[in-house]
Amino acid sequence: MIQGFDTTAIHAGAAADPATGARQVPIYQTTAYAFRDADHAAALFNLQEVGFIYSRLTNPTVAALQSRIAALEGGAGAVCCSSGHAAQILALFPLMEPGRNIVASTRLYGGTVTQFSQTIRRFGWSAKFVDLDDPQAVRDAIDDDTRAIFCESISNPGGYVTDIPAVAAIADAAGIPLIVDNTLATPYLCRPIEMGATLVVHSLTKYMTGNGTVTGGVVVDSGKFDWSASDKFPSLSAPEPAYHGLKFHETFGNLAFTFHGIAIGLRDLGMTMNPQGAHYTLMGIETLGLRMQRHCENALKVAQWLENDPRVVKVTYAGLESSPWKATADRLYPKGVGGLFTFEIAGGYEAAVKLVGALELFSHVANLGDARSLVIHSASTTHRQLTEDQQRAAGAGPEVVRLSVGIEDVEDLIADLDQALAKATA
């Protein structure tokens, strides 16, 4: 990113349309693209020339979004896909084979814990969950079959922050990539690649689009990992039978992971983003910087207000002086720690459920990162499939309420919490 963040957020990947001059990125609502002739078609299919073939692989609207996100994250390339969970599979797919594992943080989005602890086992992959604040535990968990470390920059739902440079150093020493889910921070608050991450994944569903209209995901590649340094990553370093023995790393250099994501990942797994969704996300990203500033300001004020209220037992926000993560937050996330955190209400499970029902401005939904404020009781919803131990490890115990603080007037949000707390603890 050579220009400033907001300039990049508005301009990257989006010159005026060469065909029509349209200033906004058009929605290229097309499945296929006319080949110039048979040679052109053959060159595209052989990956000898870059172009558009079929929208399961590439689409110009989606490509504009990919360029914009790659620029914002400081990556070499990006591949958009149908959801944040799709992005996680798309990121792991080139790295993994049956029998391989990843080392994953214990503090993750509930759906990710389920995907990693249950679903990926059907592929013969597995995950070992470790507290990433304990470097020796991370080192001990890595074995010969480990192919990546996975964490969230700011983690859902607790809003804890990860010391990415410390974890990246462990990944480097082991010769494996660090994958960072940057959904909650967005590149406005955190640029994991600058801190040593190899790959960044996002649920675009959340802050990046920012208004609860899109389900989407992206994998960003730093372009910095040497896939040929060991024999651990044959999908990228060894001849690929599906492309006449082409070696992705040798052929595409720092774009190997990105090309593989499109030419193998999207082609064969089919978890494609649609051009309409890409358009909404492009619109959303234009205001990402402004929105994240306001999310952070509002969340800090709400968290401070809650912390001083006797009806509240505990608030987790890493921006609070009382947080054990405050020092890490100040060092690595100087612009703020986002809009998401949890608190424990006096009166436990029952009071938590009552509070969620009594709130009027905060919508009770299973989403986050919306312009409007949202609330959820994680233990009975997003983290329901987890054991109580897993819930507590993820910061989503039975008495915990999660807020996604929006960009409304903060006085109105506090007034709503005040009246709902009164009803819940009466």
Ligand X SMILES: *Cc1c(COP(=O)(O)O)cnc(C)c1O
Judged by the rule CB under 6 A, the positions of this chain that interact with ligand X are: 83-85, 109, 111-112, 152, 156, 181, 183-184, 203, 205-206, 215, 217, 368
Q: Are 183 and 370 in contact (CB under 8 A)?
A: no
Nearest residue to ligand X, by Cβ distance, number only: 84
Orientation of helix 288-307 relative to helix 410-424, angle to 10°: 40
Residue 9 token pair = 């957020």
> Smallest Cα–Cα separation from 401: which of 313, 301, 322?
313
Distance CA 332, CA 311 (A): 32
Could you tell me the smallest distance in angstroms from the CB atom of residue 281 to ligand X? 11
Beta carbon nearer to ligand X, 59 or 203? 203
Beta carbon nearer to ligand X, 83 or 281? 83
Residue 139 token pair = 């080192």
Beta carbon nearer to ligand X, 181 or 416? 181
Could you tell me the smallest distance in angstroms from the CB atom of residue 304 to ligand X? 24
> Smallest Cα–Cα separation from 188: which of 85, 23, 339?
339
* Residue 149 vs residues 105, 111, 173: alpha-carbon distances, Å: 8, 17, 12
Could you tell me the smallest distance in angstroms from the CB atom of residue 112 to ligand X? 5
Could you tell me the smallest distance in angstroms from the CB atom of residue 110 to ligand X? 9
Following CA atoms 355, 359, 362, 366 in sequence, which dihedral angle do they give, to the nearest 10 degrees?
50
Could you tell me the smallest distance in angstroms from the CB atom of residue 302 to ligand X? 19
Beta carbon nearer to ligand X, 181 or 221? 181
Query: Beta strand pairing status for 374-376 and 400-404?
Result: antiparallel
Distance CA 128, CA 151 (A): 12
Beta carbon nearer to ligand X, 255 or 332? 332
Following CA atoms 110, 215, 7, 405 in sequence, which dihedral angle do they give, to the nearest 10 degrees?
-50
Could you tell me the smallest distance in angstroms from the CB atom of residue 187 to ligand X? 14
Could you tell me the smallest distance in angstroms from the CB atom of residue 143 to ligand X? 25
Could you tell me the smallest distance in angstroms from the CB atom of residue 398 to ligand X? 21
Beta carbon nearer to ligand X, 162 or 203? 203
Beta carbon nearer to ligand X, 91 or 171? 91
DSSP 8-state assignment for residue 54: B
Could you tell me the smallest distance in angstroms from the CB atom of residue 310 to ligand X? 31
**Gyration radius from the chain CA atoms:** 22
Peptide bond preceding 241: is omega within 30 degrees of 0, i.e. cis? Answer: no
Beta carbon nearer to ligand X, 83 or 235? 83
If you count DSSP H runs as helices and E runs as strands, how many of each does the chain have, helices first? Answer: 17, 14
Beta carbon nearer to ligand X, 63 or 91? 91
Who contacts 247 (Cβ-Cβ below 8 Å, separation ≥6)? 237, 238, 239, 240
Name residue 203's beta-bridge partners. Answer: 217
Distance CA 270, CA 292 (A): 32
DSSP string, 1-14: --S-HHHHHHHTT-
Following CA atoms 195, 199, 203, 204 in sequence, which dihedral angle do they give, to the nearest 10 degrees?
80
Beta carbon nearer to ligand X, 235 or 391? 391
Could you tell me the smallest distance in angstroms from the CB atom of residue 173 to ligand X? 26
